Structure formats: structure tokens, C-alpha cells
Amino acid sequence: MKAAAITTSLRTIFMDLLLLIGVGLAGAILYKLVCAHETLIETISVPDELSKAGYSGSVFQSLVADHLIRLEQRAADVIPASAKEEIKLDADMPDFSVPGTSVSAKTMLQYVRETLPLPISTITGSVTKVANTKDHYVLHLTLVERGVVYHFDTPEGPITDLDKHLDALTEAVLQKHNPYIYASYKSAQAQARCYSGNGPCDFSEAQRIFSSIVYAGDDQPDYKWASLALSKIDEAYHDYKGEIEQVSELARKYPSSWSFYNWGVALSELGCQRMAIGAFEQAIARQASGEAPFNAVGRAYLTLAKHERNIHSAAAVNELKNARDNFLVAIRLKPDYQEAHVNLAESLQLLDKPADARREYSLAIEIDPTHAGLAYARYADMFADPKKRGTLLGLADRTDRSHAECRRTNSASLLEALGCSVVAQPEPAAIVQTSAHDEPQTDDTPAQTAACHGYAVEDRLPDAYLLDPVALSL
């Protein structure tokens, strides 16, 4: 009797333990849905005739998900990774029976989602046949976003025409579901037209939505990302002082690595290289694992060295060494960082390290030959043989011509990031500033130029907002 009682107790403890594990797993899934900004698309109901023809509910579910994912992937070209979210299918959710009950974890999640006011986004839908037609249907989608319900419909038509209607439908869903990501998508579209010269630089729609998020107040979840997006639009318009106004205000509320990085890019484009270094160092101080600010600091030092009267002077050599050291850190953090390899090669070339420079140019070309225009052009400078130089410059030109973005009217930072050789070529006198907001670019000096006055981080922010760059270590 005692043994049986012990066995029963152990079985009870074991079942209770399994129940706790099951509830814990269900809770973990629910927590991830709430906190990771994931959107759940449930199976779409369809008429039996469509299901038998191969157009099942899961097929429609996948079609909707694919279109939404495509929009978000396009938006991801212009947004930080931490601002992204994930589309999940209901069918992909892990399911299991909670021990000791007949309830599945998926059922439990569904019940909790429906009974509690949790900020979980769900998309449901159905396909209905249009009355008095032979083969016309309408896809209805319902978005539940933080307790608010939105309805969307495709135009009626045959199922074979559905795919062409889904782009407009999913854009409408995304606009209600996440205005920030929708605006980022529109910004990415405008950016592609602007940078490639296939249309005017018109970011007005994206700018309007980002501005509405910012004006709604800094308690909005996407406030800081929308502010950063507005600063990048200023950058696309070559309004670098406007960019600084935007990020300096943002840095007062959210002194993040991204805000200081954008600040540094704007200062570099204005020719304020020493001030740019200060901004990039603030970015590094807040996220030392980011490779881009190290590359940017190195690029600023490299620019300063190249504008010294004597490239072999003590000042120039010191700046070149600082540049080299920062490029090395960027490459250590991201070994396939093509732009940093090109920049490192140039710094080594100017430090009279030709063998090391050739190695880095070769590595940069191997990493991505399709974006190696700048690497080819810089590498050509190392050869006295006209035939070898001509071959490399021809490759540089061919690579540039394969990318419509390699246009001189784009910013230097963008051209360098894309590996465009045009950035290494002397600028014709006919090329002028494209924005009325900016004075002509100047080369920075220790005394600072009038164009840079008042735009350094220490000019705009109290000391309490700034971290000590001396604490940074390479």
C-alpha cells in the first residue's frame, strides 16, 4: 500500500511537472508574440470547390504572407534590424497537448488572444464567390491591431487574377498594421528611383507618415526610428544641416549609436571631418560592436591625411595610422566588409605598404566583384604599366555602369558604400551642390571652417549627454 501511494504521488508530481512545462512553453510562445512584434496570419477559409481545385486555405494564407514579407523585406533596406518584425503563419506555430488535459497549446493561445486585450496582431480572411457569376471571387482580410478591427477586400475577379490584386491589398494592410514599416517601404521605393536617376527624388509620402509618427510624441513605439528615417531623407536630399537638426534633437531624447552615426555622416558630407570623428566616436561609445562607425572614423582620418600639404608629414602619417587602425577594427568585427578593405588598402598604400595594400584590394574584389568599382580604380593607381592600369580602370567603369546608383549626384558616403569608382575621380567644375541648404563643401582643418561652426556634438548637446572618447580602445 505504501509503495502504491508513493508511486501515485510520483506520478502526480510528474504530471504536474509536465503541466507546468506545457504552460511555461505556451507562455513563452505568447510572450514572444507580444514582445517580438510578430504578426500571426491564420488559415484563410475558402469554398470547397476552390479547396478541391488546389486553392486551399493554407495556399491563400501563404500567398498573403509572401506578399507581406516581400513588402517588409523591401522596407528592411532602409530600417535598422532592431526595428523589424516577423510574419508568422498560424500553421507554423508549435502545437502540443498540455499534459493532463485535452487542450492543445495552440487552442490555449487562441483563447488567451481572444479574451485578453494583448497587443498581438492577427490577420484572418476568407474567400467568397460573387453571386450570379461563374468563377469570380473576392478575398476578404481582417486585421486585428491592438483591439481595432480593419477590413480589406480585393476587387472581384477570377482566382487567376488574385496575385496582381494582392500587392495593393497587402500594402493597405501594412499601412494600418505598421505605419512605420509602410513608410519605410515607400521610402525604399523613392530611394531606388532617386539614387538611380529613374525618377525625381520625392520622399513626400514617406516623409508625411514619418512626421506624423514623430509629431504624435516620443511615447510612440517607433518615434526614434521615424526620426532617424527623417534624417536619412534629409541626407537623400543633400540637406546635411537639416539632418543634423533632426538627429541632434533625437540625441537629446535617445542618445543612441544610430543618431550619432547619422550626425557624423552629415558632418563628413559637409567637409567637417574632425567634427565627424567626434560624432562617430560617440556612436562607438554606445555600441562598440558596430563596424560602420569604425570604418567611418577611419574614412574621416584618411580624408584629413589626403588633404595635408605633405602626405609624408608627421601629421599626415599619424592620421593615416589612425585611419588604418580603425579600418582594422571594422574588419575584425565584419571580415567581409568590402568598403573597409578598400579603405584599409588605400591607407596602407599611402603609408608605403604596397604589398599589404595589393592584398587588401584583391580581398575587396574577391568579396564582391559586382560592387568592386572603387577597389579596381584604387588598385589601378598602384601600377605604372598603362596596359594594367587600363584593364583595371575598364573593369571599374564596367562595374559602375552596371549600377544606376553610381551617379556623381549621389552622396560620397553612399557611393563609397556601393563601391562606385566615380567617387575616386576628380569632380568636374560643372558639378555643384544639389541643395540650396548647403554651402560648398570644404576641407576640414583643426581651426574648423565657417561651414562647420555650431554643428559639432559638443555645440548641440550638454556635456552630460556625451561619453568620454578617451575610454574607447581599439
Report residue 193 as a C-alpha cell: 528611383
Percent above pLDDT 70 for the chain = 77
- The more confidently predicted of residues 102 and 194 is 194
Element spanning 295, H or E: helix 291-306
| 100-111 pLDDT per residue, tens | 555 554 554 554
- The more confidently predicted of residues 47 and 121 is 47
| 259-269 pLDDT per residue, tens | 999 999 999 99
Confidence of residue 332 (pLDDT cuts 50, 70, 90): very high
On whether the pTM is more than 0.85, the answer is: no
Confidence of residue 148 (pLDDT cuts 50, 70, 90): confident
| 50-77 pLDDT per residue, tens | 998 888 998 998 999 899 989 988 988 8
* Cα-only R_g, the chain: 28
How far apart are the C-alpha atoms of 342 and 365, rounded to whole Å?
Answer: 9
User: pLDDT at position 46, please?
Assistant: 93
Residues 310/312/314/318 CA torsion (nearest 10 deg): 110
User: pLDDT at position 160, please?
Assistant: 86
Residue type, 457: V
Residue 210 has pLDDT above 80, yes or no: yes
Confidence of residue 432 (pLDDT cuts 50, 70, 90): very low
User: pLDDT at position 437, please?
Assistant: 41
User: Mean pLDDT, the chain, as a whole number?
Assistant: 83
User: pLDDT at position 438, please?
Assistant: 40
User: pLDDT at position 41, please?
Assistant: 86
How far apart are the C-alpha atoms of 448 and 429, rounded to whole Å?
Answer: 24
User: pLDDT at position 199, please?
Assistant: 87
Average pLDDT value for residue range 13-39: 56
